[in-house]
Amino acid sequence: MILHYIYRNPTQYVVRVAHAKKGDMVIFSESYDRKWIATRTDNTVVIASKKYSKFFNSFTLLQDGDYTLEVHYAPSR
């Protein structure tokens, strides 16, 4: 899996993932908060944050392929 991200502001990132496999995880070093969500840019998939290693936000990818995700903190909308 190849990952690139763009920091937009403290509550929003754009993440590009290439060559993902179903079940791969994108892990953020932000402290875990269930209010972080990832939305595929075509709005077809919303991925809720799960706790990873007791501290971090993670998002499990649901299928093989390439993704562009908007990761954002929902209350900031």
> Which phi and psi (to 5°) does residue 75 adopt?
-65, -20
Q: Which two tokens stand for residue 74?
A: 């929902």
Neighbour order of strands in the sheet with 12-20: 2-9, 12-20, 65-73, 36-40, 46-48
Query: Whole-model pTM?
Result: 0.88
What is the pLDDT, as a whole number, of residue 9? 94
Q: Which two tokens stand for residue 45?
A: 């998939």
Q: What is the pLDDT along the chain (77 residues), one digit of tens a residue?
A: 899 999 999 999 999 999 999 999 999 888 899 999 999 988 778 999 999 999 999 999 998 999 899 999 999 87
What is the pLDDT, as a whole number, of residue 42? 81
